[in-house]
Amino acid sequence: MKRRYVVLDVFTSRPLEGNPLAVVLDADDLDTGQMQRIAREFNLSETVFVRRAVHPAHSAEIRIFTPGRELPFAGHPTVGAAALLAEERFGDVAAAIDAVVVLEEKVGVVRAAVRLDPNRPTFAEFDAPRLPREVAGELPPKGAIADALGLDAADIGFENHVPTHFEAGVPFAFVPVCDLDAIRRARLDVPTWKRACGKGEALPVYVYCRETLHHDSTFHARMFDVGFGIGEDPATGSAAAAFAGVVTRFDLPTKGGHPHCIEQGFEMGRPSLIDLTLEIDGRELTAVRIGGTAVRVAEGTIDVSRATTSDA
């Protein structure tokens, strides 16, 4: 029982950069335990399993797994799966065309616009299925956050930005730091972070600053995992979607569209660029879009005949 798979690098136009993603096609007869075991075998930050859509007008149902657990939604799997499914549908194109891919995810239906171009990597952009909301509860004090990240308390915060937590399907703790030097020095000690959180949930930590490496970027970020089984993530689209809530709260954008480019993964040698667009009406955030390019780097088949659920 073999299944075809494709590995893509997402949020980059160059192979062996960005965030790698495995996509397993024709996964209808795989159960949850089998999918989890296969995700552990690939051992990438996420693996996507493509299944027939429940609604006939939709493109596919996708299930998203880290090596440790299933996620209701994630950004780079959505971008990568949309790009791949459009390429699979249209093949090699002679001229640039636009396509729409509609994905059924645990979080809900996600619509993605895909640009296929024979001269450029495939670009996909999706509407976030949920607007970000602030998570209830308090984060640890600034000193405790700094200790967990191996930083000084003076490194935490810039301008009016303070630590907070938001979610747009997956919750994250957002920690602003003063500059690139601080973000490079950051290392999350998970036991210290869990002790600091006490009885509260120890969320993955998204560290960001205003200083950037590229003049056309808006923020530089790193995402440290707690519970996903990946350590640090090169590019985190679900965090970028939730980060729209942080930007709206602290930067108070005016009415209209506000495009941002987020740098991530540079400290890992996996430079990634995530497009984030906020739509503001009055002072309210009304829509969030996440986009990026994806390139194929490998494909083949995986034998799943022994992927039983006995030890999943």
The residues annotated with a catalytic role in the active site are 46
119 sits in the region (left: phi over 0; alpha: psi -120 to 50; else beta) called alpha
Spatial CA neighbour of 194 closest among 225, 240, 153: 225
**HEC assignment per residue over 153-198:** HHHECECCECCEEEECCCEEEEEEECCHHHHHHCCCCHHHHHHHHC
Rg of the chain, C-alpha, whole Å: 19
92-96, Cβ contacts within 8 angstroms, sequence gap of 24 or more: 92/118, 93/117, 93/118, 94/118, 96/120
Q: Could you tell me if residue 304 is left (phi over 0), alpha (psi between -120 and 50 degrees) or otherwise beta?
A: alpha
Q: What is the dihedral of CA 57, 86, 22, 35, to 10 degrees?
A: 20
Q: Which of left, alpha, beta for 18 (phi over 0: left; psi -120 to 50: alpha)?
A: left
Structure tokens given for 121: 């990597």
> How many angstroms separate the Cα of 30 from the Cα of each of 36, 51, 53, 104?
10, 9, 15, 17
Which are the contacts of 88, defined by CB distance < 8 A and separation ≥ 6?
Answer: 25
